[in-house]
């Protein structure tokens, strides 16, 4: 190299392509290395085991086989087979655990970069802001799905090993053949995934708004809780249908025969509507934001 500038000096511009920056794989690796990712995913594997152990302890308690009404039948049914066990695990996780996990993956992702200061270096690479959000969101959603799959997979595997492969038993409908029950279980997970988009959207929006990862995660969970509480107040009438959590239980419709799809469909519309608003706001905000952290 000479000290004078050559006619056409090779520059970083020649190898830089905006669409090659910050790939899904890179972000996936970055997040995979984080302890919170590992813990959250690990817990998805451990939870079914904990539930299983809890059931084992319970049967040793002396009240062998005593059935007392519909409520204790929930536990009775949970041990009726692998599918029932998986369903029980999903049932107890859906109302809170999955919300927290999704809020964690989606709420922490941008805010934590901001709090570490690494966000500004990514933007200075430059990773186009829209792309940064897109990849971040895709990876967060991917981890959310992985968490759900791990939970369901482990519960199915553990439950089937312990209780066997039997038709799904339920109190409100007849038995459902194991194969079909598995499909319905996947349907339930799919519906949960769609309805959790609301949490994801809200957490993501808060994530691009604040530098405090905990604030984003907590804020999203808090609003979900608030919505659930409001949903309990029947005096609100038709307004409740507009609450993001109003159709949270609609997946139970997949357990009846024939399947009740009305609320599933309405729940999907509600969830997608909220998700579009939240994600739209997140993009709108982040593309115009002064990144000062």
Partner 1 sequence: MVTGSIVLILLAGVISWAAWPVPSSYRTEDRMIAVKTGPGGDQDVTLDTRLYLPKSADASHPVPAVLLAHGFGGTKLDSVSDAQSLAEHGYAVLTWTAQGFGRSTGQIHLDSPDWEVKDAKNLVDWLARRPEVRKDSANDPRVAAVGGSYGGGLSLLLAAHDRRIDAIVPMITWNDLARAFLPNGIGGGPENGVFKKQWAGMFFGSGGSMGGTAPVAQPRGPRGADPSAAQCGRFALDVCQVYLEMATTGRPSARAIDLLRRSSPAGVLDRIKAPTLLIQGEADSLFPLSEADANAKGIAANGTPVRVAWFTGGHDGGQGPQSDQDRVKFLTAQWLDHYLAGKGAKPNNSFTYSRISGIDASGDGLVAAGFNVADYPGTGGTKTERVTVEGPPQPAANPPNGNPAAVSSLAGVGGAIGNLASGMTIEVPGQHADFYSAPLAKTTDVTGSPTVQLKVASPTREAVLFVKLYDVDANGQPTLPNGLVAPVRLTGLPTSIDQAVPTTVTLPAIVRRFEQGHRLRITVSTSDQSYLSPAAPTVYTVAANGPVTLPTAAGTPLQSPSVIWRYVLAGLVAAIALALVVLIALSRRRLRRREQTEDEYAQTPLVVRGLRKEYADGFVAVSKVDFAVERNTVVGLLGPNGAGKTTTLRVLMGLTYPTAGEILVFGQRLKPGAPVLSRVGALVEGPGFLPHLTGYANLELYWKATGRPEAEARFDEALDIAGLGTAVHRKVKTYSHGMKQRLAIAQAMLGLPELLVLDEPTDGLDPPQIAEMRKVLRRYATDGRAVLVSSHLLAEVEQTCTDVVVMHKGQIVASGPVDDIVGDSPSVHLDVSDVDLAENVLDELGIVRTVAWSGGNSLVVDLDGTPRAEVVAALVKAGIGVDRVVPRRRLEDAFLALVGGDTKASGER
**Closer to partner 1 by Cβ: residue 143 or 154:** 143
Least spacing, CB of residue 195 vs partner 1, in Å: 12
**Closer to partner 1 by Cβ: residue 24 or 96:** 24
Of 115, 111, 142, 89, the C-alpha closest to 218 is 111
Of 215, 24, 218, 220, the C-alpha closest to 136 is 24
Least spacing, CB of residue 275 vs partner 1, in Å: 9
Least spacing, CB of residue 226 vs partner 1, in Å: 11
Least spacing, CB of residue 82 vs partner 1, in Å: 18
Distance CA 158, CA 167 (A): 16
Least spacing, CB of residue 249 vs partner 1, in Å: 6
**Residue 207 backbone dihedrals phi, psi, to 5 degrees:** -65, -40
Half-sphere exposure of 228 (CA within 13 A, CB side): 13
Distance CA 162, CA 25 (A): 37
**Closer to partner 1 by Cβ: residue 217 or 254:** 254
Helix (H) or strand (E) holding 199: helix 178-209
Distance CA 51, CA 35 (A): 24
Residue with tokens 């349907």: 187
Question: Under 8 Å CB-to-CB from 245, ≥6 apart: which residues?
Answer: 198, 224, 227, 228, 231
Least spacing, CB of residue 162 vs partner 1, in Å: 20
**Closer to partner 1 by Cβ: residue 30 or 162:** 30
Task: Kindly report whether the peptide bond that precedes residue 126 is cis, defined as omega within 30 degrees of 0.
Answer: yes
Straight-line distance from the first to the last Cα atom of the chain, in angstroms, rounded to the nearest whole number: 38
Least spacing, CB of residue 42 vs partner 1, in Å: 15
**Closer to partner 1 by Cβ: residue 66 or 288:** 288
Tokens coding 109: 């992702």
**Closer to partner 1 by Cβ: residue 6 or 62:** 6
**Closer to partner 1 by Cβ: residue 126 or 153:** 126
**Residue 233 backbone dihedrals phi, psi, to 5 degrees:** -85, 100
């Amino acid at each position: 190299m000479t000290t004078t500038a050559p006619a056409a000096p090779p520059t970083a511009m020649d190898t830089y392509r905006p669409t090659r920056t910050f790939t899904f794989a890179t972000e996936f690796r970055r997040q995979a290395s984080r302890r919170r990712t590992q813990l959250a995913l690990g817990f998805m594997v451990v939870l079914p085991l904990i539930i299983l152990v809890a059931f084992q302890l319970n049967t040793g308690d002396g009240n062998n086989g005593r059935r007392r009404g519909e409520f204790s039948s929930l536990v009775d049914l949970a041990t009726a087979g692998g599918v029932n066990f998986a369903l029980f695990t999903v049932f107890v996780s859906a109302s809170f655990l999955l919300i927290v996990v999704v809020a964690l993956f989606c709420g922490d992702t941008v805010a934590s970069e901001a709090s570490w200061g690494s966000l500004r270096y990514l933007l200075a690479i430059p990773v186009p802001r829209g792309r940064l959000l897109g990849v971040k969101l895709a990876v967060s959603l991917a981890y959310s799905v992985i968490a759900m799959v791990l939970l369901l997979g482990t519960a199915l595997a553990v439950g089937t090993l312990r209780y066997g492969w039997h038709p799904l038993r339920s109190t409100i409908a007849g038995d459902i053949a194991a194969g079909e029950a598995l499909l319905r279980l996947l349907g339930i997970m799919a519906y949960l995934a769609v309805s959790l988009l609301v949490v994801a959207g809200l957490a993501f929006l808060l994530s691009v708004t604040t530098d405090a990862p905990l604030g984003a995660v907590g804020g999203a969970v808090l609003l979900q809780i608030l919505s659930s509480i409001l949903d309990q107040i029947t005096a609100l009438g038709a307004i409740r249908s507009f609450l993001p959590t109003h159709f949270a239980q609609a997946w139970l419709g997949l357990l009846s025969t024939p399947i009740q799809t009305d609320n599933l469909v309405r729940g999907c519309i509600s969830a997608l509507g909220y998700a579009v608003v939240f994600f739209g706001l997140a993009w709108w905000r982040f593309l115009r934001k002064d990144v000062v952290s």
